[in-house]
Structure 1
Amino acid sequence: MEHGISLLPDCRPARRSAPQYYDDVLAAARTADAAGLSYVKMTEHYLGDYGGYCPSPLTFLAAVAAQTSRIRLMTGCVLPVFHHPVQLAAHAAMVDAISHGRVDIGFARAWLPYEFEAFGVPMDTSRDRYVDTIRAVIQLWTQEKASAESPFFSFHDATSLPPVVQRPHPPVWGAAVRSRESFAWLAEQGFGLLVTPSPLAKDLETTQDLVRLYLETFEDTHEGTGMKPRVAISVPLLVADSDQEAMDTALPLLREYIDVMAEAAGSWSNTSSQDYPGYANLRRSFDLVTDAELEYGGTHVVGSPKAAVERIHWLRESLNADVCLWNVDFGGQDGTVMQRSLRTFIDKVLPHVP
């Protein structure tokens, strides 16, 4: 099993400035690199407190590349619905070159109505745009003269520069949350799966069922090819010397993490889309999460080193995870809290979860 750090800024500017946040997470990336962790992942979002400090994961990962030597750089994820494939392919290839071939590209469909509104992109086209853009990006990486025709873009005999360092192209992952169609499509394409389970363990069965669908579809589609499915999970992590110390520190941060997600999901209150069934009630599902559920029934890894080891084994087995990407910046926490937890994880947990 591989491990890495997962970053999704949920900072309110009044609480933490952007320079403070970037300093803290770049320091975390350097710590992870020095410790031999496999990945640092950053997610793209716009405008709101939920993810708004990272409109460009590839820009952030270029900075990580300059300060590290071996850790892989993962977008988790870029949102192709808001990008032209020529731009996205070239930008990713540039970071691949800067890092000497350390980039993994994760894609996601985007899910926040206010982002679609700001970019002038209809939500009901998101799945088709997602599929067409990913296919075009891979063409640009792998064909000397690439051409594509789509309702959303077109190009002919395009030679994308710089060329990617990794051959035939950087590893590709896709995020999926609720849609069975998304899990199956990622498997059919041979892509890795990025999944963030529900914050509550009582909802884990749904995610388990979707991961099984991905694995079964992958096996049916690629049997005999030598290709292997890959499942990466992302959950909050906070480790301290004792369970009580860890929870005392983590609970207000988890509450903030849930509250910021709920505020972002509130943009669904007056929106509906055929491409996003079930999202209309998303805010309510976050608002109903209680502190008691976070303390006693969450999917996060919070506790002493011993408890963390047990929890990680449980999550790994529950979700068939090959990669665990630990969300170390949740709740707008500062660098001191982040580094203390990360160092404890590296020193006292990692040796027991190979």
Structure 2
Amino acid sequence: MTNPTDQTAAATEQSTTTRTIRHGVSFLPDCRPEKRSAGDYYTDVLAIARLADEAGFDYVKMTEHYLGNYGGYCPSPLTFLAAVAAQTTSIRLMTGCVLPAFHHPVQLAAHTAMLDALSGGRLDVGFARAWLPYEFQALGVPLDSSRDRFEATIRAVLRLWTEERVSEDTEFFSFTEATSLPPVVQSPHPPVWGAAIRSPESFQWLARQGFGVLISPPPLRSELGWSRDLIQLYLDTFAEAHAGTDVRPRVAFSVPLYVAETDAEAYDTAIPHIQEYLDVTAEAANAWTGVSSSSYKGYENMKQAFGRIGQDQLRHDGVAVVGSPESVVEQIKELRQVLSADVCLWNIDYGGQDGATMRRSLRLFVDEVLPHVREL
């Protein structure tokens, strides 16, 4: 949208390197069951995934959540992506993300390898720590152990993908001489990404491991400065950790997208849906009321961060990419440079949109925007 900050303008002036940018569709269901059935939602987003495949998009991404309206329609991104694999030919399948804290590494390694085989080697695996206290409580996992559990599980999954007769003995799981089947198709294993939002430790750890980073920027463009700084921390740490190798950093962001013939039409359609998405997110973040954790510093303020934003502010300062094709092209160029991104993952399903609304925007994006944002 409009009114970039001085920091944004400075970053745009400094970033002049042209490179190929990949694009994908990103799903995070925020449907209220009383307004939209799960069956209707799956029908519509599978149709969007087919359209994205036909249009030459690089990725389709789905996340994992439980119990609430925020993500509750996708407890298993691997199940959803298996359905996408059966209906598409070339688009890559990205978990964005699976939650290692809620899975045993033997199961996670085997289930992801199965999808890698079913899809002919089209899987990218994104991991996240999870952030909703009610999920941890329901599944019996302590919040304070999430970082250690996250890292230990990913390390074990990588070993199970690439080694035979693997043994692990941690405070979270233990197994002896396990050889995971089916084997992964990609060598040495599917590309790995990790979600990071506000913890510097997460950005640094992902960089040291050589993983890509998946970010969800704050809802307001005027708050992009801290995302930019954390990405720079990731890039600097990556350069230090992998100097002299051919391992390269990868940055992907996910934000809402809506394209219409005019800016006014785009705003009128998109802003109420973005507001609904923020309302559902704030309701989920309400689980932090009276809760704190050493592993989630600052998260007790999450509800206020999402709940204080009104529609007028979204129109003038929202980070979502909304507008006419010409306006959207310029917004993407700016956002990509500020966030040093290699991959743009467009959130299509926010606010419980129906299939027709999603398709109108995506077709206009494909026809009039995508050709201009493949190289930036």
Q: TM-score, normalised by structure 1?
A: 1.00
Deviation track 1:226-267 (CA, whole Å, cap 9, x = no partner) reads 110000000000000000000000011011010000000000
Higher RCO (C-alpha under 8 Å, 6+ residues apart): 2
Q: Which amino acid in 1 is paired with 2:112? A: A
Q: Is 1:318 aligned to residue 360 of structure 2?
A: no
Q: What is the alpha-carbon distance in structure 1 between the residues aligned to residue 50 and residue 281 of structure 2?
A: 27
Q: Is 1:288 aligned to residue 308 of structure 2?
A: yes
Q: Which of residues 275, 285, 292 is equivalent to 2:295?
A: 275
Q: What is the alpha-carbon distance in structure 2 between the residues aligned to residue 140 and residue 300 of structure 1?
A: 39
Q: What is the alpha-carbon distance in structure 2 between the residues aligned to residue 329 and residue 279 of structure 1?
A: 25
- Structure 1 residue 149 displacement after superposition: 1.3
Q: What is the alpha-carbon distance in structure 2 between the residues aligned to residue 26 and residue 38 of structure 1?
A: 15
Q: What is the alpha-carbon distance in structure 2 between the residues aligned to residue 36 and residue 285 of structure 1?
A: 36
Q: Which amino acid in 1 is paired with 2:204? A: A
Alignment correspondent of 2:3: none
Q: Which of residues 304, 312, 329 is equivalent to 2:324?
A: 304
Alignment correspondent of 1:159: 179
Alignment correspondent of 1:247: 267
Name the SS for the 1:10 alignment partner.
coil
Deviation track 1:108-157 (CA, whole Å, cap 9, x = no partner) reads 00000000000010000000000000000000000011111110001111
Q: Is 1:205 aligned to residue 248 of structure 2?
A: no
1:72-91 alignment runs, 5 A limit:
72-91=92-111
Q: Which of residues 90, 107, 112 is equivalent to 1:92?
A: 112
Q: Which amino acid in 1 is paired with 2:265? A: E
Q: Is 1:143 aligned to residue 143 of structure 2?
A: no
Alignment correspondent of 1:235: 255
Q: Which of residues 142, 151, 154 is equivalent to 1:131?
A: 151
Name the SS for the 1:6 alignment partner.
strand
Name the SS for the 1:294 alignment partner.
helix
Deviation track 1:203-241 (CA, whole Å, cap 9, x = no partner) reads 100000000000000000001111100000000000000
Q: What is the alpha-carbon distance in structure 2 between the residues aligned to residue 147 and residue 104 of structure 1?
A: 25
Name the SS for the 2:201 alignment partner.
helix
Q: Which amino acid in 2 is paired with 1:60? A: F
Alignment correspondent of 1:219: 239
Q: Is 1:31 aligned to residue 39 of structure 2?
A: no
Q: Which amino acid in 2 is paired with 1:270? A: G
- Structure 1 residue 281 displacement after superposition: 1.1
Q: What is the alpha-carbon distance in structure 2 between the residues aligned to residue 247 and residue 57 of structure 1?
A: 30
Q: Is 1:188 aligned to residue 208 of structure 2?
A: yes
Q: Is 1:66 aligned to residue 109 of structure 2?
A: no
- Structure 1 residue 85 displacement after superposition: 0.2
Gaps of 5+ in 1: none
- Structure 1 residue 324 displacement after superposition: 0.1
Instruction: State percent identity of aligned pairs.
Output: 65
Q: Is 1:329 aligned to residue 349 of structure 2?
A: yes
Q: TM-score, normalised by structure 2?
A: 0.94
Q: Which amino acid in 1 is paired with 2:351? A: G
1:252-267 alignment runs, 5 A limit:
252-267=272-287
- Structure 1 residue 167 displacement after superposition: 0.7
Alignment correspondent of 1:170: 190
User: Which contiguous aligned blocks of 4+ residues in structure 1 show a shift greater than 6 angstroms?
Assistant: none
Aligned residues: 354
- Structure 1 residue 162 displacement after superposition: 0.4
- Structure 1 residue 95 displacement after superposition: 0.3
Name the SS for the 1:273 alignment partner.
coil
Q: What is the alpha-carbon distance in structure 2 between the residues aligned to residue 20 and residue 333 of structure 1?
A: 11
Q: What is the alpha-carbon distance in structure 2 between the residues aligned to residue 90 and residue 328 of structure 1?
A: 30
Alignment correspondent of 2:18: none
Q: Which amino acid in 2 is paired with 1:14? A: E
Q: What is the alpha-carbon distance in structure 1 between the residues aligned to residue 350 and residue 109 of structure 2?
A: 29
- Structure 1 residue 287 displacement after superposition: 1.3
The two structures, once aligned, show a CA RMSD in angstroms of 0.5
Name the SS for the 1:168 alignment partner.
coil
Gaps of 5+ in 2: 1-20
Q: Which amino acid in 2 is paired with 1:299? A: V
Deviation track 1:284-309 (CA, whole Å, cap 9, x = no partner) reads 11111121111110111000000000
Deviation track 1:162-199 (CA, whole Å, cap 9, x = no partner) reads 00000100000000000000000000000000001001
Q: Which of residues 130, 138, 152 is equivalent to 1:118?
A: 138
Alignment correspondent of 1:49: 69
Alignment correspondent of 2:4: none
Q: Which of residues 325, 348, 366 is equivalent to 1:346?
A: 366
Q: What is the alpha-carbon distance in structure 2 between the residues aligned to residue 99 and residue 62 of structure 1?
A: 8
Name the SS for the 1:126 alignment partner.
helix
